């Protein structure tokens, strides 16, 4: 008899669907069926038991091949790399649980590392805008139950968050939105006529890279000022018409994606979107939300803000002082400037996502990948440590895109002997403490003048 597990959370995108039903084989070793998930979520579950998995850490040999080693050897190697480096970088965390993130932060602090997450190349600019201008947001449940006007700006959920529109924004019937799609106005702003734009009532084809100007025009119109005939490729009449819809909404939400975060101006595009949201609250209720990518990329922001006061790009090299300044302490900038001398890639694929020059710079130094699967990063690493898949084989807390924490469960056991991200980092931390104690024992602290390292 196969077993059905209900209310399973999906470890794919930031929508964090928690209504999946997973059918597991009698022996609890194989996933047979996944209901309610989108095509991508479905694949993540089936992938776990569908093929061969890496079951032991693999260390690069002088001849370029990988050799299986024990977890103890792998932990020792990783701890030594972190210990010896002057400025190691630990990056990733889009696809792991908050417990793993907290353990990694302990390691980063002990090792004097830079701690960064995928937001660095994704919604990090949203954080900068929030620092500068606040974040008048809401939960997805509020949007579902109240919103009658939805704006998707520079986001394409039809592809990137497949169930976002059906669960929360366009189609669901909520408490005050009983007519579902019929009672909602959908506005899509995007330079490309995406599949999301197909379902829009109004589609504004903004000139690529000129979102800021369009926001400025909306803000001027909302305040009753004149604007030029055409702004960012959009006619004045249409801007005035849409501004009127925004002002007359009962409750509205602006969902924005990489179109704002990663076109020219980055945080400023989000910043002015927040300003427009604030302006609209003089007339009615408006909210704004970042379309966070991975299922738990909101997690490191929550966990590390609580631990250190900053959500990403944390320079912990001074250990008791956390310094954050994207542009300097962000992964890509550190790599491009050759400022780091060791790299740990965890729960993401920097090999696939980073610019090739950044990868080349990082590859000059030790590169360790912690990931359940074979990916581009794992194939160019010096060490690959396999771990269990969070949400499938490892339970834990994840944060949905609206900052709502959800407890994920596991549906099967990880392959025999394979440990979790959290355990890997806890063990690296323990080994780092041992290395530190060994050095202190070897080299007793001498009275050194202020500013001179012991032994110099």
Query: What does the DSSP 8-state code read for residue 303?
Result: H
Q: Give 32-86 as a DSSP string.
A: EEEES--HHHHHHHHHHHHS----S-EEE-TTS-EEE--HHHHHHHHHHHHHH-S
* Secondary structure of residue 210 in the 3-state scheme: coil
The number of CA neighbours under 13 Å toward the Cβ of 213 is 16
Q: Give the integer Cα–Cα distance in Å for 184 and 147.
A: 7
Segment 100 to 119, residues that bind another protein, using CB under 8 A: 111-113
Q: Give the integer Cα–Cα distance in Å for 325 and 313.
A: 7
Residues 153-192: x where in contact with another protein by CB under 8 A, - otherwise, as a string: ----------------------------------------
Residue 148 contacts another protein per CB under 8 A: no
Choose one: 161-169, 214-222, 252-260, 290-298; the region binding another protein (CB under 8 A).
214-222
Among 264, 357, 434, 438, binds another protein (CB under 8 A): 264
Residues in the interface with another protein (CB under 8 A) total: 51
b/e map of 326-335 (b: 16 or more CB within 10 Å)?
beebbbbbbb
Among 182, 225, 442, 446, binds another protein (CB under 8 A): 225
Among 341, 376, 430, 436, binds another protein (CB under 8 A): 341
Residue 237 contacts another protein per CB under 8 A: no
Among 226, 237, 320, 416, binds another protein (CB under 8 A): 226
Residue 2 contacts another protein per CB under 8 A: no
Among 339, 380, 403, 409, binds another protein (CB under 8 A): 339
Residue 338 contacts another protein per CB under 8 A: yes
Residue 124 contacts another protein per CB under 8 A: no
b/e map of 176-215 (b: 16 or more CB within 10 Å)?
ebeeeeeebbbbbbbbeebebbebbeebbebeeebbbbbb
In 3D space, the residue among 358, 385, 354 whose CA is nearest the CA of residue 369 turns out to be 385
In 3D space, the residue among 403, 225, 155, 176 whose CA is nearest the CA of residue 301 turns out to be 403
* Nearest residue (CB) to another protein, 225 versus 442: 225
* Nearest residue (CB) to another protein, 113 versus 389: 113
Element (H, E) at 202: strand 202-204
Residue 445 contacts another protein per CB under 8 A: no
Segment 63 to 102, residues that bind another protein, using CB under 8 A: 85-87
Q: How far is the CB of 275 from another protein (least distance, A)?
A: 6
Among 327, 416, 441, 447, binds another protein (CB under 8 A): 327
* Nearest residue (CB) to another protein, 99 versus 213: 213
Query: What does the DSSP 8-state code read for residue 9?
Result: P
Q: Give 356-396 as a DSSP string.
A: HHHHHHHTTS-EEEE-SS--HHHHH-SEEE--PPBTTTB-E
Q: Give the integer Cα–Cα distance in Å for 245 and 180.
A: 18
Among 202, 279, 285, 405, binds another protein (CB under 8 A): 279
Residue 336 contacts another protein per CB under 8 A: no
* Nearest residue (CB) to another protein, 27 versus 226: 226
Residues near another protein, by CB under 8 A: 85-87, 111-113, 128, 131-132, 210, 212-213, 215-220, 222-223, 225-228, 231, 264-265, 268, 271-272, 275, 279, 317-319, 324-328, 337-341, 449-453, 456
């Amino acid at each position: 008899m196969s077993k059905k597990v209900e209310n399973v959370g999906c470890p794919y995108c930031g929508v964090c669907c928690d209504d999946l039903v997973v059918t597991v084989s009698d022996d609890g070793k194989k996933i047979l069926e996944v209901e309610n998930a989108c095509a991508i979520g479905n694949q993540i579950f089936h992938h776990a038991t569908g093929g061969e998995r890496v079951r032991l850490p693999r260390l690069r040999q002088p001849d370029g091949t990988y050799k299986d080693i024990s977890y103890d050897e792998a932990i020792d190697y990783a701890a030594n790399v972190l210990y010896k480096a002057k400025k190691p970088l630990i990056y990733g965390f889009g696809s792991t649980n908050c417990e793993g993130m907290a353990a990694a932060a302990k390691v980063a602090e002990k090792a004097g590392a830079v701690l960064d997450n995928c937001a660095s190349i994704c919604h990090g600019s949203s954080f900068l805008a929030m620092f500068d201008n606040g974040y008048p947001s809401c939960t997805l449940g509020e949007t579902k139950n109240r919103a009658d006007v939805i704006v998707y700006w520079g986001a394409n959920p039809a592809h990137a968050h497949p169930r976002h529109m059906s669960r929360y924004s366009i189609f669901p019937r909520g408490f005050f939105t009983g007519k579902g799609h019929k009672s909602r106005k959908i506005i899509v702003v995007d330079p490309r006529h995406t599949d999301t734009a197909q379902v829009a009532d109004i589609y504004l084809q903004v000139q690529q890279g000129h979102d800021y100007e369009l926001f400025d025009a909306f803000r001027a119109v909302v305040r009753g000022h004149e604007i030029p005939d055409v702004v960012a490729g959009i006619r004045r009449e249409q801007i005035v018409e849409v501004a009127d819809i925004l002002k007359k909404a009962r409750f509205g939400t602006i969902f924005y994606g990489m179109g704002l975060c990663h076109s020219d101006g980055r945080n400023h595009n989000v910043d002015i979107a927040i300003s427009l949201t604030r302006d609209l609250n003089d007339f009615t209720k408006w909210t704004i939300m970042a379309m966070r990518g991975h299922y738990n990329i909101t997690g490191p922001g929550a966990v590390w803000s609580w631990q250190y006061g900053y959500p990403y790009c944390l320079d912990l090299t001074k250990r008791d002082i956390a310094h954050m300044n994207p542009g300097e302490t962000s992964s890509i900038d550190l790599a491009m400037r050759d400022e780091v001398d060791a790299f740990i890639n965890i729960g993401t694929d920097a090999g696939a996502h980073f610019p090739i020059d950044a990868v080349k710079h990082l590859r000059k130094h030790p590169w360790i990948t912690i990931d359940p699967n074979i990916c581009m990063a794992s194939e160019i690493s010096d060490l690959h440590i396999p771990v269990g898949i969070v949400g499938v084989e490892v339970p834990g807390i994840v944060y949905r895109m609206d900052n709502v924490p959800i407890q994920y469960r596991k549906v099967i056991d990880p392959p025999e002997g394979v440990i979790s991200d959290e355990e890997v980092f806890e063990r690296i931390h323990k080994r780092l403490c041992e290395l530190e104690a060994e050095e202190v024992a070897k080299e007793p602290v001498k009275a050194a003048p202020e500013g001179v390292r012991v032994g110099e």
